[in-house]
């Protein structure tokens, strides 16, 4: 009896051990799978990172920041302005000021964009549009007033008509 | 309309603006130049209204608002342009500068409140680069606005031309400048709060006000030119935010134009730009009536008949007009007088000092208005050598620009200023209301010379009397 019991005991123990072993194996397998998945993720993340880096490098070498182009235009225009303005005759410096004033009202472009914006239904958008409308009006005073007063001044500059009789002794 | 096409039209507008300035190299081409400018402006506006960005967002109400706003600006603008007397050009230009400055401020605010419309980010999360550009645009715009208003008030006589000196003003200005810089840095690095942007606007307004208030009437030509330059830089700042080439090109043109004019004006007065900005020079125009005091020295006084006789018998007369002539509205009588002299066979020329009048080229416009042909009007460098061959120099409403102390007296406040060498001509006729000194408050040695004859009286009346005497 005792022998029998011993035997069955042994069998049960072996069974339990086997079961336990199997569970451990299973857990190990799962862990391995998880590790692999994590590795895979890491690898794909790395790959993505690499791709992004490559893309960045590509854009950086192929394209300069847009600002630089605008800045180049700005600097070149300053040079153009410098040479053009020095060639303006001193007699026309007042019209020069009024006409530069008129053309600087080209900021009206920015005001027009504000008025035409889609966002007018939000509170800030409404303000933005209202300010835009005022700015359009202000710039218009300048555009019409500036160009017209310049025209009026320039119309007054006349050459000697028929030189007065024997004027140039 | 395709975005690229819009951009090309903006470049075309910029080129037309360059041609507008180029036209001003001579009076013949100038009128066409101005038309180029108008076409350029129309092009820029049309390009915006038909751009993809605008058409996408605009509703029919937007169009109505735009038409109304343009009309609201165009009508007063046109009326002002038609009515303004030529003597008021400096204050008109100052007023217009104020408008450009304010428009720039409002546009920067529009962009700040609705950045999506400008494609520069979301509210509160605007691109750092754009925030810097907008902050600079709003600051320069605000300085231009308040500074120009002060310049306008001073030039228009709504405010004393005397410099208003605040104690410790340099420290206040530097502090305000530092605060403005700090605010810009905060806007870039921290929260993009409307409050900070508002604070920046206010600080810039105050700075513009404080910068111009201490500058005296005599330095106003420099100030007006300087503000001209600022309005250009403000436009360029907005241009960078909008990534708009028409604005950037125009801003650069106007900015450099104003800077060059400031330089020319400073040279004409032998003042450094820095000392003008620091302010405190020059009092009320035509000087306080008394104020000479001191020794009474004899001057040779003449009558209109004497002047008529001398000039009629002269071979060559050079007219030196100053702002006093414009104040007295004497330019038309002066031109009549010169016409009569020409009929007598006298060679008549006009000599203009760079700072005659209240803004660059002001005197040339006033003479042109009185139908003086522009080819009889010469700049200082071109005519100065001719005074020695002239029989008569007829100085009307000018003083400091003829003062030989600028050459000889090192202690004089105007020492080093280029002057018209009227002393080299045979006879110097000075038309003046009294013996008062000029802007700079310096006595003119020329009044007491033997070959000088003073003609006391109102400039306009004096010219009319000389005309009568010649008949």
Would the pLDDT of A162 be above 60? no
pLDDT band at A54 (very low <50, low <70, confident <90, very high): low
CB contact (8 A) between residue A131 and residue B38: no
Would the pLDDT of A130 be above 80? yes
| Residue B318 phi, psi (nearest 5) | -115, 125
- Residue A81 pLDDT: 94
CB contact (8 A) between residue B54 and residue A116: yes
ipTM of the complex: 0.88
Mean pLDDT, residues A8-21: 79
Using an 8 Å CB-CB cutoff, list chain B residues near A104.
Answer: 100, 231-232, 234-235, 250-251, 254
- Residue A3 pLDDT: 54
Distance from CA of A123 to the nearest CA of B (A): 9
- Residue A94 pLDDT: 94
pLDDT band at B23 (very low <50, low <70, confident <90, very high): very high
Give the Cα separation of B224 and A97 in Å (integer): 9
**Beta strands B427-432 and B392-396, pairing class:** parallel
A-B Cβ pairs (cutoff 8 Å, strict): 408
CB contact (8 A) between residue B361 and residue A146: no
Q: What is the pLDDT of residues B29-84, one digit of tens each?
A: 999 999 999 999 999 999 999 988 888 878 888 899 999 999 999 999 999 999 99
- Residue B211 CB burial class (10 angstroms; 0-12, 13-18, ≥19): buried
pLDDT band at B443 (very low <50, low <70, confident <90, very high): confident
Look up residue B100 and give its two tokens: 């450009």
Mean pLDDT, residues B443-453: 85
Give the Cα separation of B206 and B183 in Å (integer): 15
Give the C-alpha distances (Å, rounded to integers) separating B105 from B99, B110, B135, B145, B252: 10, 9, 9, 9, 18
User: A72 at the B interface (CB within 8 A)?
Assistant: no
Using an 8 Å CB-CB cutoff, list chain B residues near A155.
Answer: 31
Contacts 24+ apart (CB under 8 A), A47-52: none
Would the pLDDT of A164 be above 70? no
Report which of residues B346 and B435 the model is more confident about: B346
Look up residue A51 and give its two tokens: 């791709």
- Residue B164 pLDDT: 78
Give the C-alpha distances (Å, rounded to integers) separating B425 from B376, B456, B466: 18, 20, 20
User: A162 at the B interface (CB within 8 A)?
Assistant: no
Q: What is the pLDDT of residues A63-108, one digit of tens each?
A: 678 889 999 999 999 999 999 999 999 899 999 999 999 999 999 9
Return mean pLDDT, chain B: 87
User: A83 at the B interface (CB within 8 A)?
Assistant: no
Q: What percent of chain B has pLDDT over 90?
A: 46
Would the pLDDT of B440 be above 70? no
* Catalytic-role residue among B400, B421, B450, B465: B400
Would the pLDDT of A141 be above 90? yes
Helix, strand, coil % over all residues of chain A, rounded to 5 = 85, 0, 15
pLDDT band at A59 (very low <50, low <70, confident <90, very high): low
Torsion, Cα of A6, A7, A12, A13 (10° steps): 60
DSSP category for residue B301: B
Give the Cα separation of B226 and B220 in Å (integer): 9
Distance from CA of B128 to the nearest CA of A (A): 12
Mean pLDDT, residues B317-341: 89
Report which of residues B439 and B395 the model is more confident about: B395
Give the Cα separation of B227 and B276 in Å (integer): 13
Q: Which of A27-36, B157-166, B190-199, B371-380 has the highest mean pLDDT?
A: B371-380
CB contact (8 A) between residue A81 and residue B231: no
- Residue A49 pLDDT: 73
User: A43 at the B interface (CB within 8 A)?
Assistant: no
Would the pLDDT of B154 be above 50? yes
Would the pLDDT of B275 be above 80? no
- Residue A166 pLDDT: 45
Q: Is B375 noted as a catalytic residue in this protein?
A: no
CB-CB neighbours of B158 under 10 Å: 10
Would the pLDDT of A57 be above 70? no
CA-closest candidate to residue A144, choices B75, B131, B297:
B75
CB contact (8 A) between residue B70 and residue A153: no
Would the pLDDT of B233 be above 90? yes
Distance from CA of A61 to the nearest CA of B (A): 20
- Residues paired with residue B394 on neighbouring β-strands, in sequence order: B319, B429
Residue appearing with tokens 């001209």:
B228
Q: What percent of chain A has pLDDT over 70?
A: 79
CB contact (8 A) between residue B264 and residue A153: no
- Residue B178 pLDDT: 93
- Residue A167 pLDDT: 42
Mean pLDDT, residues B394-406: 86
Using an 8 Å CB-CB cutoff, list chain B residues near A156.
Answer: 365, 368-369, 371
Mean pLDDT lowest for which of B8-12, B116-120, B432-436, B456-460? B432-436
- Residue B80 pLDDT: 95
Q: What is the pTM of this model?
A: 0.82
CA-closest candidate to residue A103, choices B219, B196, B35:
B35
Mean pLDDT lowest for which of B155-169, B189-203, B275-289, B346-360? B275-289
Distance from CA of B340 to the nearest CA of A (A): 10
Mean pLDDT lowest for which of A11-25, B53-67, B341-355? A11-25
CB contact (8 A) between residue A103 and residue B260: no
Would the pLDDT of B248 be above 90? yes
CB contact (8 A) between residue B24 and residue A95: yes
């Amino acid at each position: 009896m005792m022998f029998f019991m011993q035997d069955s005991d042994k069998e049960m123990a072996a069974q339990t051990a086997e079961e336990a072993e199997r569970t451990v194996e299973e857990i190990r397998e799962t862990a391995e799978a998880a590790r692999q998945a994590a590795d895979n993720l890491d690898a794909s993340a790395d790959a993505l990172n690499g791709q992004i880096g490559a893309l960045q490098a590509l854009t950086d070498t192929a394209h300069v920041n847009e600002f630089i182009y605008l800045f180049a235009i700005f600097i070149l225009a300053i040079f153009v302005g410098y040479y053009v303005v020095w060639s303006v005759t001193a007699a026309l410096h007042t019209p020069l000021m009024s006409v530069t004033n008129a053309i600087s009202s080209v900021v009206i472009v920015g005001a027009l964009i504000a008025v035409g914006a889609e966002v007018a239904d939000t509170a800030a958008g409404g303000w933005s549009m209202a300010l835009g409308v005022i700015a359009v009006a202000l710039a218009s005073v300048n555009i019409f007033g500036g160009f017209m007063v310049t025209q009026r001044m320039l119309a007054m500059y006349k050459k000697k008509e028929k030189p007065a009789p024997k004027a140039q002794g | 309309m395709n975005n690229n096409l819009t951009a090309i039209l903006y470049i075309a507008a910029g080129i037309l603006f360059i041609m507008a300035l180029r036209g001003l190299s001579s009076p013949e081409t100038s009128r066409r130049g101005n038309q180029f400018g108008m076409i350029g402006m129309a092009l820029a506006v049309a390009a915006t209204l038909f751009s993809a960005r605008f058409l996408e967002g605009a509703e029919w109400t937007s169009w109505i608002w735009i038409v109304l706003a343009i009309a609201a600006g165009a009508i007063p603008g046109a009326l002002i342009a038609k009515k303004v007397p030529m003597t008021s050009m400096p204050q008109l230009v100052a007023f217009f500068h104020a408008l450009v400055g304010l428009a720039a401020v409002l546009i920067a605010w529009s962009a700040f409140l609705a950045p999506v419309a400008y494609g520069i980010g979301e509210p509160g999360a605007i691109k750092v680069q754009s925030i810097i550009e907008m902050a600079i645009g709003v600051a320069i715009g605000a300085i231009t606005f308040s500074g120009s208003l002060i310049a306008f008030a001073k030039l228009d006589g709504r405010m004393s031309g005397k410099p208003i000196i605040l104690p410790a003003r340099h420290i206040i200005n530097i502090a305000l400048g530092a605060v403005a810089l700090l605010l810009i840095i905060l806007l870039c690095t921290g929260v993009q709060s409307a409050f900070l942007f508002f604070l920046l606007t206010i600080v810039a307004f105050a700075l513009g006000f404080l910068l111009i208030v201490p500058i005296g009437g005599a330095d106003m030509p420099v100030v007006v030119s300087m503000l001209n330059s600022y309005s250009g830089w403000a436009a360029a700042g907005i241009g960078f935010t909008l990534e708009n080439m028409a604005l950037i090109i125009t801003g650069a043109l106007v900015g450099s134009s104003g800077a060059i004019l400031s330089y020319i004006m400073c040279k004409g007065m032998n003042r450094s730009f820095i000392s003008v900005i620091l302010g405190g020079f020059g009092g009320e125009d035509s000087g306080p009536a008394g104020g000479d005091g001191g020794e009474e020295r004899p001057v040779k006084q003449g009558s209109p008949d004497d002047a008529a006789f001398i000039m009629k018998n002269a071979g060559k007369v050079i007219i030196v007009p100053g702002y006093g002539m414009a104040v007295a509205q004497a330019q038309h009588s002066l031109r009549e007088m010169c016409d009569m002299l020409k009929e007598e066979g006298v060679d008549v020329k006009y000599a203009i000092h760079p700072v005659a009048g209240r803004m660059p080229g002001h005197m040339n416009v006033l003479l042109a208005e009185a139908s003086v042909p522009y080819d009889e009007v010469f700049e200082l460098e071109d005519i100065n050598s001719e005074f020695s061959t002239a029989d008569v120099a007829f100085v009307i409403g000018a003083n400091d620009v003829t003062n030989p102390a600028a050459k000889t007296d090192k202690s004089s406040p105007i020492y080093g200023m280029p002057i018209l060498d009227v002393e080299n001509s045979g006879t110097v006729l000075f038309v003046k209301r009294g013996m008062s000194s000029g802007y700079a408050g310096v006595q003119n040695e020329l009044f007491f010379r033997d070959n000088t004859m003073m003609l006391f009286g109102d400039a306009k009346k004096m010219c009319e009397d000389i005309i009568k005497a010649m008949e």
